[in-house]
Amino acid sequence: MPFPEERRLPSGYDGEVLVSGGGYVRAALGFFLTAVLTLAAVAATLPPAMPVAWETMRLVPSLNAAVADARTPHWTFASGGAYSSSPVVVGGVTYLSDNNGNLNALDVATGKPLWHAKFANSLMSAPITANGLVYVGEGNEDSTTYVPRSRVQVGLHDNALIAVDAKSGRMRWRFALRGTGMPTSALVDGKLIHHDGYGDIVALDATTGALRWRRDVRSVSSMSAVLPIAAGRLVSAGIFPNEVIAFNAADGSSAWTRTFSGSASGLGDCPLAFDGTYLFGTYLGPVSKPVDPGDPAIHHLYALRASDGALVWDRALERGDTPPRNEAAIPVVAGGVVYDGSSVAPYMHALDAKTGRLLWKREVKGPVKGAPIIVRGVVYFGDLHGYLWALEAQTGRVLGALRTGVRFNVGSPVAVGGSLLIGSVEGVVVMLPLAEIAKAKDF
């Protein structure tokens, strides 16, 4: 079956060479340069070694969470709770947190359970781990609006940051938050730093849980993440007001703030990606009135200069109806290209990271809210209709599509050796060889 809207990525070179005298020589050099660029793009997506710590959302600032391993694991695990978080893989163990308050540690090669811990409220943040501890954020998505489109608190009932022993799951400490712990924290210089659903940014001693500092930025984070971008500097995103905030790890003081239209939505749902120069995020822009659930909206992908927050580009993509939850897709940057799905339409996109130029877009079966992974020149991701996809990174051409029977929301995949690890809406965690996805023809 043919796929709609295939747009090929320009190679950046058309095979013509300008020479003295004004003439053109069409030569094999063009093919050679294209091959070199393709090999460079593939090399940029090779996985790093198995980590001994996982200190930020999706391991690396680009959010391209892939780790090297000689094995190709294949297993499934059912925890009983939907997954809004990404898995973590450290030292041969994967840590999984679900929306029913379950935190599980499994052997990454076999899927064998090692320990289980249970908490009163949802665990929607991605776990992070270092120095023998695993950290999770507790809290749900329920919210109370104090002043419509002006002041919102996300997270009712138990909201906390929690540290457990990485070998046993036994609780080491718990710190109560004023808003939800759904956003993912970062470990920086011995501090656990978190932006919550009340608008607080807090820094805790990572070993003891003692408060180092607290800053009320008002802008509320729901599912974004604290991301280190430079020595001693971090960023996060929130809503009411719609802002991306850069701050200093030492004391929480402001470095810069980028404010977006108050009519937009979803900014606080999006973990930012970083390529060393630019930050990338998504939001839903209005069609005719401020965006609320059920309203028509336009999916936007934007880039900011990380040094000062200046807007570099803002690309409007598809239009669709605003979902009730998880309004933003999660971007990933690799090899000078930003890959991003859509929360309102069934598409995956590739855009030039410097200019925002659309390189290709691919229609799939359902909205793609989670982050993709890019491994050896192939883009892998899941959609909300239950398909896992493999696309050629350079062109968007479909290599394979596998219908799984479970749906994939913002719980994003991690590549482990030759396999993909992802949690589903139905509470089933899948570890599946990448080759099985690439060869499947369920389209």
pLDDT of 28 reads 41
pLDDT of 151 reads 66
**Residue found by looking up tokens 């090999």 in the block:** 39
Judged by DSSP in three states, 268 sits in helix
Q: What is the mean pLDDT of each run of 10 residues along the chain (443 residues)?
A: 37 29 38 44 60 94 93 94 95 96 97 97 95 94 62 80 98 95 94 95 98 95 93 93 96 96 90 97 90 89 98 96 89 98 97 98 97 97 98 98 96 96 97 97 92
- What is the per-residue pLDDT across 105-152, written as a single tens digit (0 to 9) for each? 999 999 999 999 999 999 999 999 999 999 999 997 777 665 555 667
pLDDT of 148 reads 57
Asked if 364 and 342 touch (Cβ cutoff 8 Å), the reply is no
Asked if 396 and 9 touch (Cβ cutoff 8 Å), the reply is yes
Judged by DSSP in three states, 98 sits in coil
CA distance readout (Å), 254 to 164, 249, 374 = 31, 10, 33
pLDDT of 33 reads 40
CATH superfamily of 16-439: YVTN repeat-like/Quinoprotein amine dehydrogenase (2.130.10.10)
CA distance readout (Å), 46 to 35, 39, 257 = 17, 11, 34
| Cα distance between residue 321 and residue 330, in whole Å | 18
Nearest-5° Cα angle at 85, 407 to 342:
55
Closest CA to 63 of 304, 245, 334: 334
Residue 147 is classified by DSSP as E
| Cα distance between residue 137 and residue 7, in whole Å | 40
pLDDT of 42 reads 53
pLDDT of 333 reads 98
pLDDT of 2 reads 34
Nearby residues of 358 by Cβ (< 8 Å), 6 or more positions away: 7, 315, 317, 349, 350, 351
pLDDT of 48 reads 64
Rg (the chain; Cα; Å): 21
| Cα distance between residue 112 and residue 168, in whole Å | 14
Tokens at 101, concatenated: 């308050």
SS3 readout for 53-111:
CECCCCCCCCCCCEECCCCCCCEEEECCCCCCCCCEEECCEEEEECCCCEEEEEECCCC
pLDDT of 377 reads 96
- For the chain, give every domain's residue range: 16-439
- What is the per-residue pLDDT across 365-416, written as a single tens digit (0 to 9) for each? 999 999 999 999 999 999 999 999 999 999 999 999 999 999 999 999 999 9
The side-by-side arrangement of strands in the sheet containing 296-305 is 273-274, 278-286, 296-305, 311-321
